[in-house]
Amino acid sequence: MLNLSAVPFKYKNLLKKVFLKTTEYFGVKGVFSADVCFLNEADMLELNKRTREIDKTTDVLSYPSMEIGAKFPIEKSLFTDDLFDGKAYTLGSVAICESVAIKQASEYGHSVKREVAFLFSHALLHLFGFDHLNEDQEKEMRLHQEKILNELGYVR
Confidence check: pLDDT of 69 > 80: no
pTM attached to this predicted model: 0.89
Domain 2-151: CATH architecture, name and number where available: 3-Layer(aba) Sandwich (3.40)
What gap in Å lies between CA 70 and CA 108, rounded to an integer? 29
- Interval 129-137 mean pLDDT: 89
19: how many CB neighbours lie within 10 A of its CB? 23
CA dihedral (6, 8, 9, 13) in degrees, to 10, reads -80
Confidence check: pLDDT of 8 > 70: yes
Find all residues with CB under 8 Å of 8, minimum gap 6, and list them.
Answer: 38, 98
List the 60-64 sheet strands across, edge first: 2-6, 32-39, 89-97, 60-64
Q: Which residue from 15, 21, 5 is spatially nearest to 116, judged by alpha carbons? A: 15
pLDDT of residue 88: 79
